[in-house]
Structure formats: C-alpha cells, structure tokens
Structure 1
Amino acid sequence: MSTLKSRPTAEDPCVFIELVKNEQRRRDAETLLTMFTNVTVRQPVMWGESIIGFGEYRYTNTRGTYSWMMTGFSPQKQNLTLYIMQGYDNLQHELEKHGQFRTAKSSLYINNLSKIDLKALELLLVKAVAEMESKYPCT
C-alpha cells in the first residue's frame, strides 16, 4: 500500500493550537476544535505538523490505497483551512449561507470566523461528515 506524506502523529492538537502565534487565529482554532469534535464525535489527531484531523477513511485511486482523515482543519498563517475531503459539489446550498470564504478542491479557506455564520458552518460540517460516512467505512 502506498503512503501519504502527512500521517497521524502523537502530538497533542491542543498544544499545537496553544502555539499558534496569531491570537485571533488561535481563538478561531479553539472554536473549530470544539465544533469538529462535537460534530464528528471523534477525538482530534494531528496529521503531520499542522493539520488537526478527525476520523479516518480508506480510499483507492490509480496510484494505490490510502488512509486519510475524514475531515479536519489547519490554522495556517494566511487563513483557516477546513478540509472537506469529498469536495463541495453536494454542499452548495450550505456554502451560500457562510459569508466570506473561498474554496479549492477539498479546502475551504476562511480568514476570520467572525465573518462566517457558525451555525451554517456547523450544518455544512454535519452534512459533510454524514456524506463521508455513507460513502466510506470511517473510523
């Protein structure tokens, strides 16, 4: 089986968040940590040096079979990055309610949570997790 660069580590996600230098980004990460933990009903795990992941699933593509986090986020220097692994095709209705953000293939970039509708974000996460669990055996 092939392996990916970012793998689960034994590092503590709470310690990682405490070390985030930007105070607003740190508070936002604490909010997301609580939200993701409540919605996924899974414990946070550091994936690599900067991603906090929740759950795990296996998928296969032309290059191999991989294990990856079901969902997660990273408080990066430029923004908060939320990882919705299946992408946003089935989540357009939920995205309309958020506020200021941008997306890429499986990433949702948010500059500041105060400009986002947190209830809408939580509903998007609930739907994303349910969709992942319906498509893959998630642990």
Structure 2
Amino acid sequence: MTNRTTASDADVDAFIDAVSDPVRREDARAVRALYERVSGEPARMWGSSIVGCGEYAYRASGKDQRMCSIGFSPRKAETVLYLAQDFPGKTDLLAQLGPHRTGVGCVYVKRLDKIDAGVLERLVAAAFAALQATG
C-alpha cells in the first residue's frame, strides 16, 4: 500500500485560508505558529489535509515511511493534533490541558481558547522531542 500522507509543496497558507469556519481557521494559524516555534522548522503540507513540522522515519507494512513529527488538521468539528503515541509526561499534560478527547496518536480539540495554551505548548514540545530522539 502506498503512503498517501507524504510531504508536498502545497501552500500551507492557502490551505489554512480555505478553512471555512473562522474559529477553526484562527486556531489553525495559532497551532501552525506554535508548531513552527517548537520545532524550529517551517510548516509543510502532508497529504491533502495535514499541516506538519519536522519529519521522522518509521516502518509500516514492511516499508520504510516518513511522516511529520508533529502535525494538525483543522477538521469540520474540531482540530486534530497529531502527536507521538507515547512520551514522558503525556498523561499528566493531557490531564491539565482542558477539554479534549484522544485517539491513537491524536488529540482532538474543539477550541483553542478553551484549553491551557502553556500546557499545549509543553505537550507539543515533549511530543516533538520524543520523536526527534528516536530519529
């Protein structure tokens, strides 16, 4: 199976500008700025709907793959944050974050103004550091 979530040269600004919900669009701009600050790298499009920073290698289905170290996608109902599945402090940070739900390697947030921005930054930084440490 081909990995459809690969880095592209698509315009991140155009993608974010096309988000129809104004709150979700502003949240996307804020998350992008946070991710770029934490990673020290420019945001890139990964596939058609994920904005991400950094890059790491992994092996899936017997194939070497690459993915953004930290990513997000402004979906219709909420913003999805793509973070490492497990890293030191994750459980404690999520407990302090504010309203959210989780999935495997994902944190779903309806509105950034309802969560603790400082905790979010520490969460993203810890996730990024964990993946950078593994290569």
Same fold (TM over 0.5): yes
Matched residues in 1 for 2:77 and 2:119: separation?
A: 22
**CA distances 1:31-88 after superposition (whole Å, capped 9, x unpaired):** 101100000111110111110011111112443211111111000111100000x214
- Unpaired stretches in structure 1, ≥5 consecutive residues: none
Secondary structure class of the residue paired with 1:5: coil
Matched residues in 2 for 1:64 and 1:10: separation?
A: 23
Matched residues in 2 for 1:17 and 1:61: separation?
A: 29
Farther off after superposition, 50-59 or 88-97: 88-97
Per the TM alignment, residue 15 of structure 1 is displaced from its structure 2 partner at its CA by 1.2
Contact 2:97/2:120 (8 A) holds in 1: yes
Contact 1:3/1:66 (8 A) holds in 2: no
Mapping 1:77-88, distance limit 5 Å: 77-84=76-83, 86-88=84-86
Secondary structure class of the residue paired with 1:38: helix
Per the TM alignment, residue 13 of structure 1 is displaced from its structure 2 partner at its CA by 0.7
Count of aligned positions: 134
Which consecutive segments of 4 or more residues in structure 1 shift more than 4 A? none
Mapping 1:1-139, distance limit 5 Å: 3-84=2-83, 86-88=84-86, 90=88, 91-136=90-135
Matched residues in 2 for 1:130 and 1:106: separation?
A: 15
Secondary structure class of the residue paired with 1:128: helix
- Unpaired stretches in structure 2, ≥5 consecutive residues: none
Secondary structure class of the residue paired with 1:42: coil
Secondary structure class of the residue paired with 1:129: helix
- What TM-score do the two structures reach when normalised by structure 2? 0.93
Secondary structure class of the residue paired with 2:97: coil
Contact 2:87/2:127 (8 A) holds in 1: no
- CA RMSD after TM alignment: 1.3
Identity %: 31
